[in-house]
Amino acid sequence: MPNKSIYSMKEIRDIELSKEDLDLLNSKLGLKSLFGNKRIDLGRTLAEVKYELKLREQQAELVKLQAWAIENRKKIVILFEGRDAAGKGGAIRRMAAHINPRYYRIVALNKPTEDEEGQWYFQRYVNKLPKPGKIVFFDRSWYNRAVLEPVNGFCDQEQYDRFMSQVNDFEKMIIASDTYLIKFYFSITKEEQEKRFEDIRKSDLKRWKLSAVDEKAQDLWDEYTKYKQVMLQDTDTGHAPWIIIKADKKTEARLKAIEYVLKAIPYK
């Protein structure tokens, strides 16, 4: 039987563990994590268990937040923006994991239809805004026109300029309709994005996630950066500020995003 430990017995004895650490390692969650990996790594196991416990604690608070929103007929909109493979979808899934599915929706819109292309740009997003008591998570949003579309040639300069001149007032109108609006930007490095792309390419279960746009993301990195910086500067307002989440470590990014939501919305 292969040895699962990456430590010698002396190294294990030399590792200083608090009583809390030992209790975590001996918990059902700790033992599952410890022996679920190919190699025993106490440090990694402790980090995983602490993350899971903190996540569960935050998810329980999100259930309370949703109950408050339902009871008080509050509307909540949470945008997730960021580069391809920044972890937006994973963060949304953790936020929505235990809340009532009848009172939230995840919106990830495809390319506009022919009819939608002839409408006011924001109209297709207005149609997805929440009713009283509901939460809407946008996995990418109207800010496609601020970065993704101009970089990839999906809109012209006039359309881009019109969007940038209207978006701040549009968000004012959303907030004026008694809606909480939170805007997250998940920020990753070029190296981390390439690593995640490579992991996706190697996975038979995840390969479908890579689109033609994703495949060009590394080559267009500097172009994305240029438009991203303009977006963050020109649309970071007092009524709808950007919350930038450093997302190279997915677990930390998820916890920080949920923590912000819990603090920003006065559900208690």
Average pLDDT over the chain reads 90
Lowest mean per-residue pLDDT among 34-43, 95-104, 171-180: 34-43
Whether 3 shows a pLDDT value over 60: the answer reads no
- Residue 8 placed within a domain: no
Whether 40 shows a pLDDT value over 70: the answer reads no
Q: What's the mean pLDDT in 199-219?
A: 92
In sequence order, what DSSP letters do the residues of the chain get, joined into one string? ----BSS-HHHHHHS---HHHHHHHHSHHHHHHHHHSSSB-HHHHHHHHHHHHHHHHHHHHHHHHHHHHHHTT-EEEEEEEESTTSSHHHHHHHHHSSS-GGGEEEE---SPPHHHHTS-TTHHHHTTSPPTT-EEEEES-GGGGTTHHHHHTSS-HHHHHHHHHHHHHHHHHHHHTTEEEEEEEEE--HHHHHHHHHHHHH-TTTGGG--HHHHTTTTTHHHHHHHHHHHHHHS--SSS-EEEEE-SSHHHHHHHHHHHHHHHS---
Interatomic CA distance for residues 109 and 111, integer angstroms: 7
C-alpha angle 155/161/164, rounded to 5°?
Answer: 105
Q: What's the mean pLDDT in 161-186?
A: 98
Q: What's the mean pLDDT in 87-102?
A: 98
Q: For residue 157, what are the domain limits?
A: 61-264
Distances (CA, A) of 153 to 50, 121, 150, 171, 213: 44, 16, 5, 25, 11
- Residue 133 placed within a domain: yes
Residues 6+ apart with CB under 8 A from 132: 73, 74, 75
Q: Please tell me the predicted confidence (pLDDT) of residue 232.
A: 98
For residues 210 and 107, the answer to whether their CB atoms sit within 8 Å is no
- Residue 47 placed within a domain: no
Distances (CA, A) of 205 to 130, 202, 208, 212, 230: 32, 9, 7, 18, 36
Whether 255 shows a pLDDT value over 90: the answer reads yes
- Residue 66 placed within a domain: yes
- Residue 175 placed within a domain: yes
Instruction: Give burial (CB, 10 Å; 0-12/13-18/19+) of 71.
Output: exposed
Whether 10 shows a pLDDT value over 50: the answer reads no
- Residue 131 placed within a domain: yes
From the list 142, 110, 151, the residue with the least C-alpha distance to 240 is: 142
Indicate the pTM of the whole model.
0.87
- Residue 67 placed within a domain: yes
Q: Please tell me the predicted confidence (pLDDT) of residue 45.
A: 78
**Total number of domains constituting the chain:** 1
User: Which tens digits make up the pLDDT trace of 122-160?
Assistant: 999 999 999 999 999 999 999 999 999 999 999 999 999
For residue 136, give the CATH number of its domain. 3.40.50.300
What is the torsional sign of CA 192, 184, 204, 33? positive
